[in-house]
Amino acid sequence: MHRAKKLLLLAILSAPPMAIALMLLALAMSDGFGPGLTDFSADLGNGYQLVQSSAQVVQICPKNGWSDDRQIIPEKVVSCGANADFIIAEQNPLDAKGRPTTGDTPFWILKVAEKHSYGPFTGDEFKLKRKEFGVPDSLGFRRAQSYRP
């Protein structure tokens, strides 16, 4: 064991019980509260934002929260694009344990005026719905991480 590690261990073991309790409390609070290093939100316009609250929880939601009449695009959004009328998103869905799944990539379309999201779609379904809804070809995807301020 390195000398510094030995000194730290000795200091911890020789500290009074109350000091140890305070150190443990501070350690627990620093990990469980507040934003993490990877957290961010980015304005997509029209009252929607891209929000990352953990490495796996990246979603598109209204700035003022959501309800049945204000739809979201659930995690994990890996890329998206937005204009005044539409938000499009590519998703890597999560399993029951919160881990990304493998397989087909689902896509979503959110109609801003209707405040309603449609999906998940397969790649072929997305292309058809994109034309049906009138999503312009000029609206492309950007990686979610590129929105980080």
Over range 67-82, report the average pLDDT. Answer: 85
CB 76 within 8 Å of CB 62: no
Same domain, 109 and 63: yes
Same domain, 69 and 7: no
Same domain, 19 and 89: no
Same domain, 129 and 80: yes
Q: Quote the pLDDT of residue 107.
A: 97
- Whether the per-residue pLDDT at 133 is higher than 60: the answer is yes
Sign of CA dihedral 123, 95, 69, 58: negative
Same domain, 89 and 69: yes
Same domain, 28 and 67: no
Same domain, 62 and 94: yes
Number of folded domains that form the chain: 2
% of the chain beyond a pLDDT of 70: 72
Q: Which two tokens stand for residue 75?
A: 């995690």
Same domain, 46 and 15: no
Same domain, 28 and 44: no
Same domain, 26 and 48: no
pLDDT, tens only, 43-61: 999 999 999 988 888 999 9
Looking at per-residue pLDDT, the higher value among 66 and 78 belongs to 78
Domain that holds residue 19: 3-32
Same domain, 122 and 140: yes
- For the whole prediction, is pTM greater than 0.75? no
For residues 89-99, one letter each, b for 16 or more C-beta atoms within 10 angstroms of the residue's C-beta and e for the rest, the string is bbbbeeeeeee
Question: Which of 100, 6, 3, 119 shows the shortest CA–CA distance to 56?
Answer: 100
